[in-house]
Amino acid sequence: MDSPAANAAFAKQINIKFPLLSDMNKKMLTAYGILKGHDVQGDTYEWAQRANIVIDKNGVVQHIEEGDSAVNPNNALSVCTDLHKKQSAK
Amino acid sequence: MKKILAAALVLSAIPAATLLSSAIQQEKVAKVSLKVGDTAPDFTLLSDQWKPVKLSDYKGKKNVLLAVYVLAFTGG
């Protein structure tokens, strides 16, 4: 998990305009079931899988991608765009 | 004295073993437990500006895209 300081350096480097969050105690990752155990030379370490999750304005999960398919954010982005269009049409 | 020390060591070994086995179990069921249609659990996390960001702050205002990006600021 990256600390807020590491995230700040990263955000500055690639000019990010949205908040980069740190889950240092893995609370959110645990609640969302994203942590995965990995065996490394006889020891087990836990770190997060890649995941893209879209949550609508009502707090309801609309889209989940995990693992390799979550490397590309375009699917999740198009879900967001569709949601926005639907909400604007109402 | 040695006996007491040995007993203490065994006791401390038990939680360690329990932790390890639960981690291994998690590897077997490594799936995002959340499903589409579920209410997203609320969380408060520190941003890169050291400000707390709460999921529920966006409720009724914005859709949220959470991208879990592992080891973002590393060369690997």
Q: Is A75 on the interface with B (CB under 8 A)?
A: no
- Residue B27 included in any domain: yes
Of A19, A24, A87, the CB nearest to B47: A19
- pLDDT at A68 (0 to 100): 83
Residue B70 lies in a domain: no
Contact call for B30 and A56, based on CB within 8 A = no
- Specify the number of domains making up chain B: 1
Q: What is the mean pLDDT of each run of 10 residues along chain A (90 residues)?
A: 83 86 90 87 87 95 90 90 89
Q: Which residues of B11-30 are buried (b: 16+ CB within 10 A; e: fewer)?
A: eeeeeeeeeeeebeebeeeb
């109402």: which residue's tokens? A90
Question: What is the reported pTM?
Answer: 0.72
Whole domain around residue B11: which residue ranges? Answer: 2-58
**Residue-wise pLDDT tens digits, B11-69:** 545 555 555 555 544 444 445 678 999 999 999 999 999 999 999 999 999 999 999 88
Order of strands, edge to edge, in the sheet holding B44-47?
A21-22, B44-47, B52-54
- AA letter at A26: K
CA distance B72 to A16: 13
- Show residues of chain A in contact with B76, CB under 8 Å: none
Residues of A with Cβ-Cβ distance to B16 under 8 angstroms = none
ipTM of the complex: 0.83
Q: How far apart are CA B71 and CA A48, in angstroms?
A: 9
**What are the pLDDT digits (tens) for B14-23?**
555 555 555 5
| Residue B66 within any structural domain of the chain | no
In a domain, residue B72? The reply is: no
